[in-house]
Amino acid sequence: MRYIYIITLVILASTTLGSAQFDHFDLSQSCMDEAQKLIGSEEINACVPISSFASLISNSKSENEEAAMKTMADSICGLPKCSDSLVASTQKDFRAACQQDLKAKNDLANSIDAAIALYSPLRDSICFKNSTDGYCFIESYTSLKQINDKAPKNQSPVLTFAGASNEQVCTPCNKAITNTFNNYQKVHPEAFTAIQGYSDKDVETAKNALTGKCGESFLDGQIGDTKQKPSEFQQQSSPNKSDASSLIANGLSLATFVGSLIALI
Ligand SMILES: *[C@@H]1O[C@H](CO)[C@@H](O)[C@H](O)[C@H]1NC(C)=O
Ligand SMILES: *[C@@H]1O[C@H](CO)[C@@H](O)[C@H](O)[C@H]1NC(C)=O
């Protein structure tokens, strides 16, 4: 399930960090030490409650996946955002200590690195709330999961996306999240290279797919009002007809689409 790739990665990476169970991840000693340092850092825990993630997750074991995500989001969004300088120094230290692991494309090291590089848009995206006061990313995750579950097995993500209804894709929440990442990318293109399988071309394709489906105004750089009712929002944006043919023509690069832009939803 790559749809909420990045967000799940962050949560997974944080949970792994929180539970301090690195054994089966095959990290180098210096990288493991650095990860332990992150977990124990008071400064980091003041804005990302890593050390409490493990207990949050184990306490919510009996609940469903969405309840667990909500608990994590409540704890992240209840704290102030980390400063840019803390994020930058954390990234620098992590990359130095985990140089070898990143080079070897270790999954956990890569996830943590991407999570740090994209901390700012991630944190913003995790905290958006919808018209019924639920978390946007959970709404998006649930609806993308439905889209995916309904699609025939092994169908290309292109066809699945092209066949999804505008009501499911063109929502105030998805607009806020995609514009948050899009705006961040304009200023910090280098942050995105930390995502495995990321390419500019795929993101362009993804953007065209989204505007084809939801109208040019969908990616206008505005976060908009995530609390607006989706039905009202859709009446206002009146998108052009879904551009399924260009999606299919771009099938190959769209495969990574799921891993890049929509994936961030
Ligand atoms: C708002 O998000 C929650 C999940 O966080 C979801 O259950 C709910 O259906 C969403 N509301 C709308 C109007 O989509
Ligand atoms: C629909 O397409 C027309 C022409 O291709 C374009 O001028 C217009 O801006 C589009 N509308 C939206 C909402 O994207």
At 75-115, the pLDDT tens digits run 889 999 999 999 999 999 999 999 999 999 887 788 788 88
The predicted pLDDT at position 247 comes to: 47
Give tens-digit pLDDT for 144-184.
778 777 777 776 666 676 677 888 888 999 899 889 988 98
Which ligand has the nearest atom to the CA of 210?
Answer: 2
- Full residue range of the structural domain in which residue 185 is found: 2-261
- Number of folded domains in the chain? 1
Q: In degrees, to the nearest 5, what angle opens at C-alpha 185 toward C-alphas 91 and 249?
A: 125
| Ligand 2 probe mutation, 170, 216, 238, most atoms within 8 A of CB | 216
Residues with CB under 6 A from ligand 1: 130-132, 134-135, 138-139, 230
Query: What does the alpha-carbon distance between residue 91 and residue 172 come to, in Å, rounded to a whole number?
Result: 31
- Å from CA of 213 to ligand 1 middle: 21
- Segment (H or E) for 221: none
CA distances to 163, 173, 265 from 157, rounded to whole Å, are 10, 21, 15
Query: Over the stretch 124-139, which tens digit does the pLDDT of each residue have?
Result: 988 999 999 999 988 8
Mean pLDDT, residues 196-201 taken together: 69
Distance 183 CA to ligand 2 centre (A): 22
Of 126, 36, 114, whose CA–CA distance to 74 is shortest? 126
